[in-house]
Amino acid sequence: MPIDYDTLKNWPLAPIEQTYDERDTILYALGVGLGTDPVDTDQLPFVYERPSLQALPTMAAVLGGAGSWLAEPGTGVDYTHVLHGEQGIEWHQPLPAAAAIVAKTRVTEILDKGPGKPAMIYTTREIADRDSGAALATLTSTTVARGAGGFGGPTTAQPAPHALPERAPDVVCELPTAPQAALVYRLSGDRNPLHADPAVARAAGFDAPILHGLCTLGVAGHAVLRTCCDYDPARLRSLALRFSAPVFPGERIRTEIWRDGEVVSFRARVVARDVTVLDNGRAAVTG
């Protein structure tokens, strides 16, 4: 059954309530690689509760997700052909180290790239404090449904990606990932066996389990926070990027950064394989 534009555009996504505590916040930070150096006191506030714990900004990506809703009957999407293409996060204030939140996700647009080509599904998730209603973050996501085009939907051009400067990067931040990184990160919510089970990974065409794309995003977000914000979460206002290739746990990720005032451009590479894993990155910082 092909995509029905009106049905998918108005797909009923119930609000998600989630409560997280300091343990969850620490576990997320450990999953994206903070705390690798046990004497790095700049990273300590994100993995140790004394005197006060701070939430890593990119933890917003694992809060209040709508789950695998595109796998539900009636969406017209073959979930085995779905890829996460782009992700954006805008922070309205620093995330609390512990909170009860409510998240509301909606489909904002579906672009038809033509028969045999992808459908581009755009969603927005708004995260707010459950009790006060205060806005915490807004997330935008692009899902690529391969082969789902040709359903008669809008054919307008996909928004152009952020163009990286043509000069050499102003600064480079290289961070390790642990061999067990995917096994730790999955405890923050994404239990897809592709990231844990070698047999599942081989069936999908990989030599070994791969790192979650949003974990790679967390590593790049850490690089921007470290390099451009002096580890102050309040200075990181937004971040957006395209996923371009998988990372294998244990690989080092080099984030190349260009700074133009409050606009930070970046991409992330695994130099050992000469591959760009995140591209067209743009962040907004203050101070």
Residues forming the active site: 190, 195, 210, 213
> Would you list the DSSP string of 213-257?
HHHHHHHHHHHHHHHHSTT-GGGEEEEEEEE-S---TT-EEEEEE
Query: Distances from the Cα of 116 to the Cαs of 61, 88, 244, in angstroms?
Result: 31, 27, 21
Cα separation, 165 vs 175, whole angstroms: 22
Contact call for residues 286 and 264 (beta carbons, < 8 A)? no
Q: What are phi and psi of 96, to 5 degrees?
A: -65, 155
Q: How far is CA 230 from the centre of its chain?
A: 21
> Would you list the DSSP string of 25-68?
HHHHHHHTTTTSSTT-TTTGGGT--SS-----GGGGGGSS---S
Contact call for residues 241 and 87 (beta carbons, < 8 A)? yes
Cα separation, 19 vs 100, whole angstroms: 4
Count the Cβ atoms, other than its own, within 10 Å of residue 98: 15
Q: What are phi and psi of 223, to 5 degrees?
A: -60, -40
The single-letter DSSP state of residue 264 is E
Helix (H, G, I), strand (E, B) or coil at 202: helix
